[in-house]
Structure 1
Amino acid sequence: MRTANEEQRTPADPAVHHGSVTAQELRHVLAGVPTGIVVVAAEVDDRIVGLSANSFTSISMEPPLVSISFGHTSTTWPLLRRATRWGISVLGEGQADVLAQLRQPAHERFDNLDMEVRSGAAWINGALATLTTETEAEIEAGDHVLTLLRVIDLARDTGQRPLIYFGSDTHRIAHRTSADVAQEAGSAGGDERGGRPRRRCA
């Protein structure tokens, strides 16, 4: 017979989930963590190579470090690591079409994209933010390589909002202004004590 406490446990509770976590389980759970989407690219042998990633994260402010992880099965990673500098483009909400283009074969990914190349680093023009990085360290991490990158230059377009990756698909952030919130509160017009509309006196 189960107790009340046992019935309330979830699969995330260590007392319930004993065995090894599978890759499928981890992928399913982490799909519930919203992330931004970046494109990391560089010019190697006179052509642009790169890929999209949602493993981009800030590591340190002093020194300025960020990180991206690459799977050992990636065929783009060995090419990228030959470049001395990488460009990282943070995609804005209007750039979902960029991801569709990046699903093309590696040698065609950047053919129809508006790119800027400088000192070997490459960026998507019109991105929400861009960073120029140099590899600081590579750390073996299971079936991935975690790359620590030193940021040497960066810029941001504050007029844009990010493209979000959540539930294995792309999304936009719903934008509600303070005026929207105030209008919704006014439309509700309920009394907190009884939930009935308040009467206004003339």
Structure 2
Amino acid sequence: MTISTTIDPAEFRKVLGSYPTGVCVITALDGEKPAGMVVGSFTSVSLDPPLVGFFPDKSSSSWPLIEAHGHFAVNVMGSDQQDVCRSVSAKGAEKFVGVDYVVSDHNLPVIAGSIATIECKLYSVTEAGDHWFVLGEVLRMETTSEDAPMLFHRGRYGSFAEGA
């Protein structure tokens, strides 16, 4: 027996927006220039092999550029990097104007000030409704700061505060 349920998209976003997520910028090179996108869906997936994942929207103009590179970096944003997120999430070719980054040994843009960086080889891409489920095999990773992470909750950026 199949039960049909209609879920209102606005209610879906509202309810799931109650769940806070970390904020990452996924980067790769498009020729000589950086390509990137902000995601709140990053997660660890497997220890053996070491895999991580995220879910880009199928309508993303940045994801095809990253996918074509075959490798990507996950830059975990610190709570003080809202300006980076706003720049990278903007439409157009000027996403990285004013964003400080270096190109790693794996030929990936690593954003300065990120609290951690995870460099990956594209492992798989699976259709998941109106998104893609992207898995990356970890090639290199490092924690560069003990600063507070940036969080996204109910449509706003914020930070982590320890309880008393």
Cα distance in 2 for partners of 1:158, 1:104 equals: 26
Aligned 8 A contact 2:38 2:89 in 1: no
- Residue number in structure 2 paired with 1:88: 74
Q: Deviations over 1:43-90 (max 9, x none)?
A: 111111111110111111111111011111111111111112211100
Query: Secondary structure of 1:52's partner?
Result: strand
Q: TM-score, normalised by structure 1?
A: 0.75
Query: Secondary structure of 1:107's partner?
Result: coil
- Residue number in structure 1 paired with 2:109: 122
Unaligned 5+ segments in structure 1 are 1-17, 182-202
* Equivalent position to 1:28, from 8, 11, 14: 14
Unaligned 5+ segments in structure 2 are none
Letter in 2 for 1:74: S
Letter in 2 for 1:23: P
- Residue number in structure 2 paired with 1:104: 90
- Residue number in structure 2 paired with 1:147: 134
- Residue number in structure 2 paired with 1:157: 144
Cα distance in 1 for partners of 2:47, 2:31 equals: 33
Q: TM-score, normalised by structure 2?
A: 0.91
Cα distance in 1 for partners of 2:48, 2:141 equals: 15
More helix by percentage: 1
1:153 CA displacement:
0.5
- Residue number in structure 2 paired with 1:199: none
Query: Secondary structure of 1:82's partner?
Result: helix
Aligned 8 A contact 2:74 2:117 in 1: yes
Report whether the alignment pairs 1:135 with 2:122: yes
User: Structure 1 residues 158, 113: closer, same or farther in 2, change over 3 A?
Assistant: closer
Q: Deviations over 1:97-127 (max 9, x none)?
A: 1112124333101121001112321121110
Aligned residues: 160
User: Structure 1 residues 148, 103: closer, same or farther in 2, change over 3 A?
Assistant: closer
Aligned 8 A contact 1:88 1:122 in 2: no
Cα distance in 2 for partners of 1:157, 1:41 equals: 17
Cα distance in 2 for partners of 1:158, 1:110 equals: 22
User: Structure 1 residues 158, 108: closer, same or farther in 2, change over 3 A?
Assistant: closer
More strand by percentage: 2
Report the structure number with the largest CA radius of gyration.
1
- Residue number in structure 2 paired with 1:192: none
- Residue number in structure 2 paired with 1:71: 57
